[in-house]
Every structure is written in structure tokens, then in C-alpha cells.
């Protein structure tokens, strides 16, 4: 890889991150002071478990769709074997959603952008997934502490997605080659920003993302058993395709 290639790779990944971000960082910043009223919070808390789950599944699926778009535009992703593209999205899309979600976290009042305003953990009470929500908020808080730039988030998101260690890959070698070029891009960006010390922290955050998504799948398994009708007929098809244990 000559430097020119790496610069081009970084520029194209940053570009497709921006194009597929759903909300720009500046937009989220401007919305930060819009909080839910006590009545609105109570309305969320009086939703039934399955109603709130369905609501969140729809919102998460919106965010996942943008991540699918992001993946398709990463140089090298489309050259991968179709089944491997699906396998990488099946295991990585939720991780990138939660990573991106941290851009919309306000560390001052521990709120996250949800349904047009900024919400605290209490909004999600009726999900009966307090531990997962707490872990998601803690993760978002920790990510904010790293103060990553959008460019660093873009390269980090691509690295989370293109992971040759994912299960059931048919052409692991090809995924390794794309992963290595993205790794080069991320180290190049961090070197340019004199922040090489972030690399080990980012690998640590990847492990936390994997545990968050394992917990999400566990909760989904519990929910689908408890509310089979909602899970099978009211969840968005893409959510089921990606996350339901087939
Ligand atoms: C992501 C790109 S962005 O442009 O920054 C953006 C783009 C859109 C938004 C709004 C948004 O969709 N927020 C939202 C949606 C769902 C959830 C959520 C709800 C429930 C669960 C538990 C599970 C058992 C269903 C999980 C999990 N795991 C996640 C959250 C938040 F994580 F906070 F709880 C926020 C926020 C930023």
C-alpha cells in the first residue's frame, strides 16, 4: 500500500460514513437540549413490555439500515463473497449502530437521542432490560470520553464491521485483506492525529461492543419466547433476519 492508496481509502470511508450517518454530529449537538417532559417519560414507562420492545426494534432497524448502506460503500466490502457480506452484517451491524449511537450521547445529563428528543435510562424501563440499557449507556459514556473525531469513528466503524474473526466466513482470507487495509487506514489516521495511544483502547471497546450485542441477542431470545407473536409478526423483517436465532 503506497500512502496515496491509504489516504484515498481513509477519505472514501470517511465520506461514506458521513453519507450514511442518519444524523450529522452537528445536528445531534443542536438537539441536545430537547428533553422529554415528565408526562412523556411516564407515557413511555406505561407502555407494555412488548409495545416498547417493538418500538425500539423499529428504531434500531432504521439505524441498522444506514449501517448496511455504509458497509456496501466501504471499498472492498462489495468484492467479498455475498454470504460473507451477510455474515459480517449479521454479527457487526448492531455493534456499529451502538458505536454510532454514542455520538448522540450527552455526557452532561446521561441522555441519548431517541424518538426526536434526549432520553435518560428511565425511558426504557418497560423493556425490562435494565442491565442491557445501563451497559449501552455506560458504553456510550466511555466512547464520549475518548473524544473521537468523525474521521476516527468512520474508520473504527469500518474496522468493527470488517472482522475476519467472525464466525462462518467462507473466504476468510479475502476478509483479512480488507480488514488489514482498514486497520492501516485507522493507524494512519491515529498517527496523523498523534493519537496512536488510542489503538489499544479501541480494541478494548470492540470487546465491549461484542459483549453488548451478545446481551442484546440473549434478551431478544428471552423476549421472543415470552412474546412469540410480537417477535415473529410485528418486528421489522430486517431485525428478525439479522438478530433472530434462526
Ligand atoms: C446511530 C446513528 S445516529 O445518527 O447517531 C442516531 C440516529 C438515530 C437516533 C435515535 C435512535 O434510534 N435512538 C435509539 C434507538 C434505540 C435504542 C435502543 C433501545 C432499546 C435497546 C434494548 C433492546 C433490548 C431493544 C437498545 C439496545 N441494545 C437500544 C437507543 C438506546 F441505545 F439509546 F437505547 C437509542 C440516535 C442516533
pLDDT tens readout for residues 189-213: 999 999 999 999 999 999 999 999 9
- Residue (of 24, 103, 94, 23) closest to 61 by Cα position: 94
Ligand 1 neighbourhood includes 111 CB (under 6 angstroms): no
9 C-alpha vs ligand 1 centroid, how far in Å?
29
Residue 3 has a pLDDT of 58
Measure 199 CA to ligand 1 centroid, in angstroms. 25
Q: For every one of its 246 residues, what pLDDT tens digit does the chain have, with 9 covering 90 and above?
A: 555 799 999 999 999 999 999 999 999 999 999 999 999 999 999 999 999 999 999 999 999 999 999 999 998 999 999 999 999 999 999 999 999 999 999 999 999 999 999 999 999 999 999 999 999 999 999 999 999 999 999 999 999 999 999 999 999 999 999 999 999 999 999 999 999 999 999 999 999 999 999 999 999 999 999 999 999 999 999 999 999 875
**So what's the ipTM on this one?**
0.98
Residue 61 CB less than 6 A away from ligand 1: no
- pLDDT of 245: 73
For atom 20 of ligand 1, which residue has the closest CA? 56
Q: Report how far ligand 1's centroid is from the alpha carbon of 201 (Å).
A: 23
Distance 176 CA to ligand 1 centre (A): 30
Which residue, by CA, sits nearest to atom 36 of ligand 1? 113
What's the confidence (pLDDT) of residue 125?
98
Atom 23 in ligand 1: residue holding the nearest Cα: 216
Greatest pairwise CA separation for the chain in angstroms: 58
Q: What is the pLDDT of residue 244?
A: 84
Return the residue whose CA atom lies nearest to atom 34 of ligand 1: 133
The verdict on the CB of residue 129 being under 6 Å from ligand 1 is yes
- Distance CA(58)–CA(41), nearest Å, equals 19
- Distance from Cα 1 to the centre of ligand 1, integer Å: 37
Say how many Å lie between the CA of residue 59 and the centre of ligand 1: 7
For residue 182, give the nearest of 71, 99, 106 by alpha carbon: 71
Q: Is the CB of 104 inside a 6 Å radius of any atom of ligand 1?
A: yes
Q: What pLDDT is attached to residue 23? A: 96
> Could you identify the atom of ligand 1 that is nearest to the CA of residue 213?
28
Please answer whether residues 71 and 178 qualify as being in contact, where contact means their C-beta atoms are separated by less than 8 angstroms.
no
CA separation for the pair 77, 56 (Å, rounded): 28
Instruction: Please name the residue whose Cα sits nearest to atom 22 of ligand 1.
Output: 133
Q: Are 104 and 113 in contact (CB under 8 A)?
A: yes
The predicted structure's pLDDT at residue 107: 97
Residue 121 Cβ < 6 Å to ligand 1: no
Whether ligand 1 lies within 6 angstroms of the CB of 106 is answered as no
Amino acid at each position: 500500500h503506497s500512502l496515496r492508496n491509504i489516504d484515498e481509502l481513509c477519505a472514501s470511508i470517511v465520506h461514506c460514513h458521513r453519507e450514511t450517518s442518519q444524523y450529522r454530529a452537528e445536528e445531534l449537538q443542536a438537539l441536545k437540549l430537547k428533553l422529554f417532559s415528565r408526562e412523556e417519560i411516564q407515557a413511555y414507562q406505561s407502555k407494555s413490555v412488548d409495545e416498547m420492545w417493538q418500538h425500539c426494534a423499529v428504531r434500531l432497524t432504521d439505524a441498522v439500515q444506514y449501517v448496511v448502506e455504509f458497509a456496501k460503500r466501504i471499498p472492498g466490502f462489495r468484492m467479498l463473497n455475498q454470504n460473507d457480506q451477510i455474515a459480517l452484517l449479521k454479527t457487526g451491524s448492531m455493534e456499529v449502530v451502538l458505536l454510532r449511537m454514542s455520538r448522540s450521547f450527552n455526557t452532561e445529563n446521561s441522555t441519548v437521542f431517541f424518538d426526536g428528543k434526549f432520553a435518560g435510562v428511565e425511558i426504557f424501563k418497560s423493556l425490562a432490560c435494565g442491565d442491557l440499557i445501563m451497559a449501552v449507556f455506560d458504553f456510550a459514556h466511555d466512547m464520549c470520553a475518548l473524544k473521537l473525531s468523525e474521521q476516527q469513528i468512520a474508520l473504527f466503524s469500518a474496522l468493527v464491521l470488517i472482522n475476519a474473526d467472525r464466525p462462518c466466513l467462507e473466504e476468510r482470507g479475502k476478509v483479512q485483506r480488507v480488514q488489514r487495509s482498514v486497520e492501516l487506514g485507522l493507524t494512519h489516521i491515529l498517527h496523523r492525529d498523534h493519537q496512536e495511544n488510542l489503538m489499544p483502547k479501541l480494541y478494548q471497546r470492540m470487546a465491549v461492543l461484542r459483549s453488548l450485542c451478545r446481551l442484546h441477542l440473549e434478551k431478544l431470545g428471552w423476549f421472543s419466547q415470552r412474546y412469540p407473536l410480537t417477535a415473529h409478526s410485528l418486528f421489522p423483517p430486517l431485525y428478525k433476519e439479522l438478530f433472530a436465532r434462526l
